[in-house]
């Protein structure tokens, strides 16, 4: 029995899975790390803390799996995407904290670029909108913060990448400086049709090409492990995909129109577009879903429509850490189920602005509809409903672009275990919600890509046959009640 190690490096922690050939998880471990908030609206990570969380989670997962190291066929990586990391190529030491995808410090710069009329051209090239979410303005800010950095970058002494690039460099002892097309497509520097970093965009953001990683496919061998605690040397590092694209792949959404939502720190809805990068007219993004095999002509290149809600699971963390309504995130379902409904309370979880399809970085979180009879249970239930209603806005926009209704939505991520949330999501969408046996499909997707590159699985059809459903939630609520929810939601979003 061969095994693949999947490293899922997320916003608040790292999870490592050990997956066997039959898609069974035989080892799992998670390590959290510190979130750094220098100023309001700013979020940073220490890359050294990220790496420590990776090595500790590796040790935990392999210890639980208790497998022969010789059975490990490959290592796959999936990661928080737009987070910008800057490090010394020779020493692999970071030169400053990473700037996280949630960070809003470049909002003014993005507004300046929009006023200057760059939006349509950037959208044409990258499939993205101008927003602090993406990597380009974060990198531009880091280079302007210290002019010596830019000089060193131009000399090739510094490497820039999303977290995958940093991890591959660490895993291979500096041998590989690489990213994959899915992560590159989230930088606002990448031409998604030509599959290369754009000279035009590098000039706009004043980014030296010498500091950029090689762009590879999502399933190939990039290098082999070297001096990684807990792993033998020589294991192929063979699959990379940004977390949301990895989840789309892990959900076996291989056909055009297939869609999934991942409930993590944020909520991310992706739908397979096939081999054509269709630009949205409804405020969604167009991104690369995956590439299997080298070169778009020799291999399979697929695109996806994406809508992102910046806060999902983080709203439950806020109930726990900010308001003290619950002691653990798992308690939110019982608290919310203690009331029959949200009693007119609406929570818009816009703590980091509003993402697709609204794209309002200035928006803030909002609670409205409070009365003297409002309880903690009503606020908890309204928070879960707010997470689902954000996704509803995104799915409706996707349906407008595609000209067809969504027939089912596959779900994953930690909050997908919440039955109350899943049922409300099905009710408000009027669409069946399908939950798989393996909720950690982000990590599973990276394992599958690495396994395809190394022969653990031969084809996507083999994977689809092994993908297993755990539960299906059918819509059950009266549409009149749902329309009342939606109307309250629309009013609240308009003033958030």
Token digits for 36? 């750094």
CA-closest candidate to residue 388, choices 470, 316, 323: 316
Query: Would the CA dihedral through 137, 214, 92, 165 be positive or negative?
Result: positive
Q: Is 80 inside a domain boundary?
A: yes
Please state the length of the chain: 496
φ, ψ for residue 126 (rounded to 5)?
-105, -20
Residue with tokens 């799996």: 65
Q: Is 62 inside a domain boundary?
A: yes
| Contact between residue 74 and residue 5 where contact means Cβ atoms under 8 Å apart | yes
CA-closest candidate to residue 215, choices 242, 235, 253: 242
Token digits for 120? 């349509």
Pairing, β 285-292 against β 300-309: antiparallel
Q: Is 230 inside a domain boundary?
A: yes
Supply the pLDDT for residue 305: 92
CA-closest candidate to residue 54, choices 171, 137, 157, 143: 171
Q: Is 461 exposed, middle or buried (0-12, 13-18, 19+ CB in 10 A)?
A: exposed
Residues 6+ apart with CB under 8 A from 222: 168, 172, 176, 178, 216, 237, 238, 240
CA-closest candidate to residue 234, choices 73, 19, 444: 73
Q: Is 82 inside a domain boundary?
A: yes
φ, ψ for residue 197 (rounded to 5)?
-65, 135
CA-closest candidate to residue 164, choices 178, 151, 175: 178
Token digits for 464? 């689809």
| Contact between residue 359 and residue 283 where contact means Cβ atoms under 8 Å apart | yes
Based on C-alpha coordinates, what's the Rg of the chain? 21
φ, ψ for residue 80 (rounded to 5)?
-60, 135
| Contact between residue 187 and residue 136 where contact means Cβ atoms under 8 Å apart | yes
Q: Is 300 inside a domain boundary?
A: no
Range of the domain at 85: 3-245
Domains in the chain, number: 1
In this structure, how many other beta carbons lie within 10 angstroms of the beta carbon of residue 192?
A: 21
Residue with tokens 């101008």: 130
CA-closest candidate to residue 317, choices 101, 12, 8: 12
How far apart, in Å, are the Cα atoms of 430 and each of 269, 339, 484? 16, 23, 14
Backbone φ/ψ region at 263: left (φ over 0), alpha (ψ -120 to 50), beta: beta
Give the containing element (helix H, strand E) for 444. helix 441-454
Query: Would the CA dihedral through 444, 447, 452, 458 be positive or negative?
Result: negative
- Average pLDDT across each block of 10 residues of the chain; the chain has 496 residues. List them in order: 95 93 93 92 95 96 93 96 95 96 92 95 94 94 93 94 97 96 97 96 96 96 94 95 94 91 89 89 91 64 91 92 93 95 94 85 91 96 95 91 86 91 94 91 94 91 89 90 91 92
Q: Is 20 inside a domain boundary?
A: yes
CATH label of the domain that carries residue 77: 3.30.420.40
Strand partners, 359: none
CA-closest candidate to residue 247, choices 135, 134, 413: 413
| Contact between residue 262 and residue 410 where contact means Cβ atoms under 8 Å apart | no
Q: Is 47 inside a domain boundary?
A: yes
Supply the pLDDT for residue 296: 38
Supply the pLDDT for residue 295: 42
Supply the pLDDT for residue 216: 95
CA-closest candidate to residue 127, choices 245, 247, 224, 233: 245
Q: Is 269 inside a domain boundary?
A: no
């Amino acid at each position: 029995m061969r095994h693949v190690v999947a490293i899922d490096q997320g916003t608040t922690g790292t999870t490592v899975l050990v997956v066997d050939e039959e898609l069974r998880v035989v080892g799992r471990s998670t390590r959290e790390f510190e979130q750094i908030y220098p100023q309001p609206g700013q979020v940073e990570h220490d890359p050294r803390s990220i790496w420590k969380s990776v090595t500790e989670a590796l040790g935990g997962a392999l210890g639980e799996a208790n497998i022969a190291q010789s059975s490990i066929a490959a290592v796959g990586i999936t990661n928080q995407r737009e987070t910008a990391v800057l490090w010394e190529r020779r020493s692999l030491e970071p030169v400053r904290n990473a700037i996280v995808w949630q960070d809003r410090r470049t909002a003014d710069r993005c507004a300046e670029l929009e006023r200057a009329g760059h939006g349509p051209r950037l959208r044409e090239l990258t499939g993205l909108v101008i927003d602090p979410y993406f990597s380009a303005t974060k990198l531009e800010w880091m280079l302007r913060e210290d002019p010596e950095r830019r000089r060193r970058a131009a000399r090739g002494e510094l490497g820039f990448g999303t977290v995958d690039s940093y991890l591959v460099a660490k895993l291979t002892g500096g041998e590989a400086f690489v990213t994959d097309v899915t992560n590159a497509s989230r930088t606002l520097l990448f031409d998604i049709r030509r599959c290369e970093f754009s000279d035009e965009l590098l000039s706009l953001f004043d980014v030296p090409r010498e500091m950029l990683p090689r762009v590879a496919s999502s399933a190939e061998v990039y290098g082999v492990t070297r001096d990684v605690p807990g792993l033998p040397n020589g294991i192929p590092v063979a699959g990379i995909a940004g977390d949301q694209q990895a989840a789309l792949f892990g959900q076996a959404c291989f056909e055009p129109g297939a869609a999934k939502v991942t409930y993590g720190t944020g909520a991310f809805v992706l739908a397979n577009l096939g081999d054509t990068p269709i630009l949205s007219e409804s405020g969604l993004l167009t991104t690369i879903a995956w590439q299997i095999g080298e070169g778009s002509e020799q291999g399979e290149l697929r695109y996806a429509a994406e809508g992102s809600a910046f806060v999902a699971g983080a709203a439950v963390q806020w109930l726990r850490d900010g308001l003290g309504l619950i002691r653990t995130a798992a308690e939110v379902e019982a608290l919310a189920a203690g009331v029959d409904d949200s009693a007119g309370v609406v929570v818009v979880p816009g703590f980091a602005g509003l993402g697709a399809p609204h794209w309002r970085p200035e928006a803030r979180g909002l609670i409205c509809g409070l009365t003297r009879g409002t309880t903690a249970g009503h606020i908890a239930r309204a928070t879960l409903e707010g997470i689902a209603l954000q996704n509803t806005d995104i799915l409706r926009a996707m349906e407008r672009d595609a000209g067809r209704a969504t027939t089912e939505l596959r779900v994953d991520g930690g909050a997908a275990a919440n039955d109350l949330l899943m049922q409300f999501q099905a009710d408000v969408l009027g669409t069946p919600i399908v939950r798989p046996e393996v909720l950690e499909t982000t990590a599973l997707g990276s394992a599958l890509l690495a396994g395809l590159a190394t022969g653990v699985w031969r084809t996507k059809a083999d994977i689809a046959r092994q993908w297993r459903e755990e539960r299906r939630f059918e819509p059950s609520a009266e549409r009149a009640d749902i329309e009342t929810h939606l109307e309250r939601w629309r009013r609240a979003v308009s003033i958030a």
